[in-house]
Structure 1
Amino acid sequence: MSATFEYADQTVLVTGASGALGSAVCQTFADTGATVAATDVVEPDDDSAALDPAASERIHFYQGDFTDESEVERVVSEVADDHGGIDALVNVAGTWKGGSPIEDTDVDTFDLLLDVNLKTMFLASKHALPHLKERDGQQGAIVSVSARASLEGGEGDGPYRASKAGVRLLTETIAEENEGVVRANAVMPSVIDTPANREMMPDADHETWVAPEDIAEVMLFLCSESASVTSGAAVPVYGEA
């Protein structure tokens, strides 16, 4: 059994678009006919965003720092003006840092993780919600990236885990506050199969890792009307990892 999704005439805003997962999300939505507004603090290049040239006419890049509210407001407004609204928001922007116990973690690392993982999701959602509520006859959708690590404490990466737990809790809050109007869900990956992660962990069992494209397919479903009864969920996407 297979499912197909059609996003023609819909605009999807994707943050963190220049990374491995973000570029896979952009490509996946573009393949279904969506107009993709891809945004990141850095422009995509051949290594970070290997997007299919055939789909590029449906992917439009907007550079902006989503830890800065004025930048978020500018980009979201530009996307809505350029494409007549926003139908879905996919919050991919994020980073990982760890390796130190709390007493050895500097405040700059803490601030970085909270800013990139949680603040970007908060600001993007805050400014996209008014546009998502304006969809004619259909619910808007937000899907954000939390993490399997957000489910419990662990040694060496406490601020990362806390930031991703915050993504889950804000997702539940947005779902509660916008019931029947905008659905909000999160996905929880573990280690994603990217070139950077393979380089960082060359001796790991890469066969147990999940490809970015597979995670993007779940996000595609959660933004679709097929997931109309699902809101406030945190969906595992970590396979056997």
Structure 2
Amino acid sequence: MATLFITGAAGGLGLSVTQTLLTQGHRVLAAIHSAKDKQQLPTEFPDNLFTYEIDLTNESAVTALIEQAITAHGPIDAAILLAGGYATGTLAETDGTLIDKMMTINFKTAYTTVQPIFTHMSQQSTGGRFVLIGARPALDAQAGKTAVAYALSKSLVFQLSDLINASGNGQNIYSTVIVPSIIDTALNRQAMPDADFTTWVDPQTIADTIAFVLFGEGRALREPVLKVYNQA
């Protein structure tokens, strides 16, 4: 049984990931935004699921929470960082306020979690694993030109993963970036009701990919960027 720290655990993707890893018998330390989020999480794993309400943009609070979690549950074997958000906007439409918002939601929430967990992992002989969520608009300018702030913020996630791998070299600390196309979540369906949902990626597919990277043959991969696309 591994001990896993997951941000965005109650989100459209997070629920599938959390359910999958709990079903596989792992201990999940789930970072959630509010008590309402806790109601969305599975209830059939009371001995393996532990929730923490936290503002991921508050660096000192996140560091304190992670220290608390380690004291209570022992070393963290992997961190799966799913928290984030999306916004549209071309270059002409995107101002500094939107840039700041997307940077905070998509990059700062990742960094404030990575930093203390990386420090923790570097102090244990077993090392650890990170899984970050990238985005196709950060890799493809044609896809990113209508979501500029989102694309820019997600581009830093790729850089963060590279820095984890460089800094963790020789310490058995590795990072993977999963890059999904549009994920078939209730929120996305509500935002795009006329879309063909069959062309989107099932959250379970991403959850299975994360499990493969952490515990399957994918564990042997080094510095991968895995594109999980369907038809959209």
TM-score, normalised by the number of residues in structure 1: 0.88
Which residue does the alignment assign to 1:126? 115
**1:4-153 residue pairs with structure 2 within 5 A?**
8=1, 10-43=2-35, 44-46=37-39, 49=40, 51-98=41-88, 100-136=89-125, 138-153=126-141
CA shift, 1:123, in A, is 1.4
Give unmatched runs, 5+ long, in structure 1. Answer: 1-7
Which residue does the alignment assign to 2:198? 207
Q: Deviations over 1:189-239 (max 9, x none)?
A: 111001111111111110011111210111112122633332321101122
CA shift, 1:104, in A, is 2.5
Deviant stretches of 4+, over 6 Å: none
Q: Deviations over 1:31-73 (max 9, x none)?
A: 1111100002223155xx3x33222431111011111101110
Q: AA paired with 2:197?
A: H
Are the equivalent residues in 1 in contact too, given 2:8–2:32 (CA < 8 A)? Answer: yes
Secondary structure of the corresponding residue to residue 85 of structure 1: coil
CA shift, 1:132, in A, is 2.2
Q: Deviations over 1:130-153 (max 9, x none)?
A: 2223444x4410000011111022
Q: Deviations over 1:78-137 (max 9, x none)?
A: 111110111100010100011x3223223222111101101111111111012223444x
Secondary structure of the corresponding residue to residue 161 of structure 1: helix
RMSD: 1.6
Secondary structure of the corresponding residue to residue 24 of structure 1: helix
Secondary structure of the corresponding residue to residue 92 of structure 2: helix
Secondary structure of the corresponding residue to residue 13 of structure 2: helix
Which residue does the alignment assign to 1:174? 164
Secondary structure of the corresponding residue to residue 119 of structure 2: helix
Q: What number of residue pairs does the alignment pair up?
A: 228
Give unmatched runs, 5+ long, in structure 2. Answer: none
Which residue does the alignment assign to 1:220? 211
Q: AA paired with 2:138?
A: S
Q: What is the alpha-carbon distance in structure 1 between the residues aligned to residue 121 and residue 24 of structure 2?
A: 20
Identity of aligned residues (%): 30
Are the equivalent residues in 2 in contact too, given 1:18–1:42 (CA < 8 A)? Answer: no
Q: What is the alpha-carbon distance in structure 1 between the residues aligned to residue 216 and residue 128 of structure 2?
A: 9
Are the equivalent residues in 1 in contact too, given 2:94–2:148 (CA < 8 A)? Answer: no
